[in-house]
Amino acid sequence: MKEKLEELKTILAEVDDISRAVAIANWDLETYMPPGGAEGRGNIVATLSRMAQETFTSEKVGGLLDELMPFATELDKDSDDARIITETKRQYEKLVKVPAEMVGERAQLRAVGNPAWRESREKSDYSIFKPHLEKMLDWVQRYADLFKPYDHIYDPLLDDYEANMKTVEVQETFDTIRPQQVELIEAIAAAEQVDDSFLHQAFEEDKQRQFGKEVVGAIGFDFERGREDKVTHPFATNLGYGDQRITVRMGDDFFNPYLFGALHEAGHGMYEQGISKDLARTSLYTGTSLGIHESQSRMWENLVGRSKPFWDHYYPRLQELFPSQLGNVSVDDFYKGINIVKPSFIRVEADEATYNLHIMLRMEIEIALLEGSLSVDDLPEYWNTKFEEYLGITPDNDADGVLQDVHWSFGLYGYFSTYALGNLISVQLWEKVKEDIPDLEAKVGNAEFKPLLTWMNEKIHVHGSKFPPQELMQRVTGSGIDGTAYISYLKTKYGDIYNL
């Protein structure tokens, strides 16, 4: 059987190589490709995507898996080889239902639709992106139908990002935490408000970048195995062992977007940099789920990067770079300013108290689109109505409303809920880290980040996707994904900031 296993690994390596080539092409599409290259890039990505799909779902792979599954039961169930076999089997059984032509079709739709979304957003004109959204939504509905019967049309989409999780589970979790977050937001609104005006002024981009790269390097992102580039909508991607890319959005009139975005994407990058090299070019060489992935980015962005100990250490350096902007602002006022609670239009700039409401709104809209109760024609008006209902404000234009997220241009339906799940997981993990490293906050205050990163490497990163998300959480924290710790964290943090 070992020969069969090696044969399977050889095929998986080929599939991984093709998939990384697709990732490189898509990274370039977002960063440096000229606008005129969209159609040609779409053809390239479509061809490579079909190749990966056809190779992975071949009869050869299916036969090898049938032969190897009994062998997997003889191995240590937690060994790399056993998990490679069982995880590959799980992926195979799902992907074999998807025709290679459909995979290529989506790649083409993405390559053309994403530049259209960017133009649409820049011009704040939904009509430019609308026909592309219609085509992608049609593709997503046809994709979901491949997995009938399902409990809900959203289930097979969610499963792509959170294996084995059901729509009803996420809805129940959101229904539990939503009223508590709304109650907290209402209490904050009634309290004395925080001033963050000093964050909304000119901050030279080159100095922001200098500070950001210093901090990102200090927390543990390895620039010898990664790089940082500018884009319209930030993301991180793994281009193969030793090559993790993060991207950022820059602006010279508001301090927050670049630095906290860089910390966020670095969290994703460090997860991928920490996966065992033994898993490279296998089906396990990726994060186990987007919720777990997002927990890493939100942890570094918020639990570290927006913490008081972090700024007790780094604020003098920031004042040194921006003396006219921050020289007369105390570290206490700065800390409160970067943690201000204020309903805003842009999800990636939302504060911790309101962020999950952005996610719940998007999930509700996706479900309505997929169920057919909402049309693409009515989407902008529906978005604005729901935004007013959830956050009490109404976008003035399409760029701040329905066009602000890149995800639908890539067909990433089912993705948004993982952001909120990541918030919950981040605090669950943080509480566990503090049990093992009692002086964690003091270490953050001394810019000693290695103990935290090492803990995450050993407990989370190194395993790649060996363990499904709920199983990994049970192993590390002793419980499944739960919002209790997150709500407690929010109440404590903002109770202190707003004297609640």
Measured distance between the N- and C-terminal CA atoms of the chain, rounded to whole angstroms: 63
Q: Alpha helix (H) ranges present in 327-378?
A: 331-338, 352-371
Let me know: does 351 contact 340? Beta carbons within 8 Å.
yes
- Copy the structure tokens of residue 264: 């966020």
Name the least confident of 289-293, 342-346, 363-367. 342-346
Which pLDDT value is given to residue 348? 81
What Cα–Cα distance (Å) separates residue 199 from each residue in 222, 278, 308?
Answer: 29, 45, 17
The pLDDT of residue 349 is 82
pLDDT at 1 over 90: no
The residues near 12 (Cβ < 8 Å, ≥ 6 apart) are 56, 84, 88, 281, 282, 283
pLDDT over threshold 90, residue 132: yes
Per DSSP, the residues of 299-312 read IIIIIITTSHHHHH
3-state secondary structure of 252: coil
Q: Tokens 């729901």 belong to which residue?
A: 386
Tens-place pLDDT, residues 93-109: 999 999 989 999 999 99
Q: What is the mean pLDDT of residues 191-210?
A: 97
Percent of the chain topping pLDDT 90:
94
- At 139-170, the pLDDT tens digits run 999 999 999 999 999 999 999 999 999 999 99
**Residue 488 confidence (pLDDT):** 97
Non-local CB neighbours of 120 within 8 Å, separated by 6+ positions: 126, 127, 128, 129, 398, 403
Residue 232 confidence class, pLDDT cut points 50, 70, 90? confident
Domains and their CATH numbers in the chain: 2-153 (no CATH), 167-497 (1.10.1370.30)
Predicted confidence (pLDDT) at residue 201 exceeds the cutoff of 90? yes
Q: Is 265 a catalytic residue?
A: yes
Q: Find the mean pLDDT for residues 333-347.
A: 95
Distances from the Cα of 49 to the Cα of 9, 44, 52, 55, 182, angstroms: 19, 9, 5, 10, 43
Q: What is the mean pLDDT of the chain?
A: 96
Stretch 53-77: mean pLDDT: 96
In sequence order, the 6+-apart residues with CB closer than 8 A to the CB of 397 are 124
Rounded CA-CA distance 317/309 in Å is: 14
Structure confidence at residue 251 as a pLDDT band (50, 70, 90): confident
pLDDT digits (tens, 9 = 90+) for 440-475: 999 999 999 999 999 999 999 999 999 999 999 999
- Of 484, 458, 480, 485, the residue nearest 469 (C-alpha): 480
Model confidence at 81: pLDDT above 90: yes
Between vectors from CA 218 to CA 214 and to CA 220, what angle results, nearest 5°? 125
Position 346 scores a pLDDT of 87
pLDDT of residue 233: 81
Residues 197/333, Cβ–Cβ less than 8 Å: no
Contact between 301 and 433 under an 8 Å Cβ cutoff? The reply is no
Predicted TM-score of the model (pTM): 0.92
At 109, list the tokens. Answer: 């739709």
Peptide bond into 257 cis (omega under 30): no
Q: Name the percent of the chain lying above pLDDT 70.
A: 100
Mean pLDDT of 59-74: 97
- The mean pLDDT of 281-306, rounded to a whole number, is 97
Catalytic residue among 30, 162, 265, 301: 265
Ramachandran area for residue 420 (φ above 0: left; ψ -120 to 50: alpha; else beta): alpha
